[in-house]
Amino acid sequence: MTKILFVCHGNICRSPMAEFVMRDIVNEQGFGDNFEIASAATSSEELGNPPHRGTRAKLREFGIDTAGKYAVKLTSDDYPLYDYLIGMDQWNIKNMHRISGGDPEGKIQRLLDFTDRPGDIADPWYTGNFEQTYTYVYEGCEALLNHVFAEGGR
């Protein structure tokens, strides 16, 4: 079982989008039972809130429902539970290291670093561009899945 935790600032835009996109991809390919996929925040400001309406609307375009998802916060207890802790930008990565107490197993990485176009995924809470976020998240999830399969899972 490969366990992936996607992380962003508030757990209402990018990380839940990645969580549900990745679940959709692995289920579509018939590998859903081989994965545990979740998402969390590095901050407390959105705790208990559902995904942003822009995230929900974008995912609905692809038949993906986010019902039952509410923002939760990353804790140091999460580090040993997951094989991959995937941040959306460098600020998330910095905070993930702080919260986790480091990254001795090399589990913390940015999502787009698995693609041919490494870098940050801008926060659509600020940009309003959920289309671009979806495009980057989808590309990142596909590349991450290819990486997982190339490694033979963890």
Nearest-angstrom CA–CA distance, 48 and 122: 23
Which residue is associated with the tokens 């399969």? 149
Helices within 29-72 (DSSP H only): 53-60
Enumerate the active-site residues: 8, 14, 123
Place of tokens 């809470």: 125
Q: Measured in whole angstroms, how far is the alpha carbon of residue 65 from the centre of its chain?
A: 16
Contacts of 111 (CB under 8 A, 6+ apart): 6, 18, 86, 87, 88, 121, 136, 137, 140, 141, 144
